[in-house]
Amino acid sequence: MGVSMATARLWVERWERQQQRYAIDREERFTVIADVVEHATAGRSRPLLLDLGCGPGSLSARLAGRMPDAEIVAVDMDPLLLELARTHHPSAARYEEIAIGDDGWTDALGLNRPLDAAVSTTALHYLSEPALLRTYRQLADLLGPGGLLVNGDHFAQQSQPCSDLTAHVGHRRAERTRTHAHEDWQSWWTAAALDPELTDLFTERERRQAAHGHQGGNGNALSLARHTDLLRQAGFRHIAPVWQFGDSHVLVAVKD
């Protein structure tokens, strides 16, 4: 079910443009995540990083470019996106098909030492609140002392007026940068489904989603404050948003 480099490049480049429609200042958010991880792991000879919900390798590739000595394990449950990552960014990470939150998912990572950082962008919101709390606890167990959990995503505010304002700021930013004009999520998937080189991967993707009962949708929509509460329940004492534009945040939790 492999794909050619040309096909992978085409669909990854379209993915990058499509995602700019949704992630406010997406490239800056990636840069901030890399800044945080690079700072926290300075002086470590081969930091071990885990990319959660890696998709076609967007964050892993950027981290590998900034930190060429890092060992990156990138996981996702989508076989199509993983194959695009393996082909387009083959040396960035070790890619594993794993459903975050499934029974035994941390054992399947095959880690032989504590993590220095676990990172994610626009992926963990697909987990239910109980599954997210369980995942935060499992990540706390995987991280070594001083290890980081870094989550870049859109987080609502606790009050509706504040959420409306942060969302409005993000929408206006998208209008100014014209990212709202890029193709949307559904258009990308509809077009990709017509590529004959991806047919077998789409078939496998549908089979895996049915097996996991994946329903898609907008996920848990938890507020920034609720994420902070769950992280504290998971054992993290040091938690802070280090970057925000509109409702897009980079939230960092540090293990003692």
Over the Cα atoms of the chain, what is R_g? 18
Residue 50 lies in a domain: yes
Number of domains in the chain: 1
Does 106 reside within a domain? no
In a domain, 229, yes or no: yes
pLDDT at position 159, please? 87
Average predicted confidence (pLDDT) for the chain = 94
Domain annotation covers residue 93: yes
CATH code where residue 55 lies = 3.40.50.150
In a domain, residue 66? The reply is yes
Identify whether 85 is part of a domain: yes
Instruction: Convert the pLDDT of each residue in 185-208 to its tens digit.
Output: 999 999 999 999 999 999 999 999
Strand positions, DSSP E, the chain: 48-52, 71-76, 94-97, 115-121, 143-154, 238-245, 248-254
108 part of a folded domain: no
- pLDDT tens per residue, range 4-59: 999 999 999 999 999 998 888 999 999 999 999 999 999 999 999 999 999 999 99
Q: Which residue, 3, 7, 13, is CA-closest to 200?
A: 3
Q: How high is the pLDDT of residue 217? A: 45
Q: Give the closest residue to 116 by CA, choosing from 150, 77, 93, 68.
A: 150
| pLDDT value, residue 223 | 94
- For every residue of 181-192, DSSP letters joined together read GS--HHHHHHHH
pLDDT in tens, 238-252: 999 999 999 999 999
72 lies in which domain range?
Answer: 5-101+114-254
The predicted structure's pLDDT at residue 214: 55
Residue 109 in domain: no
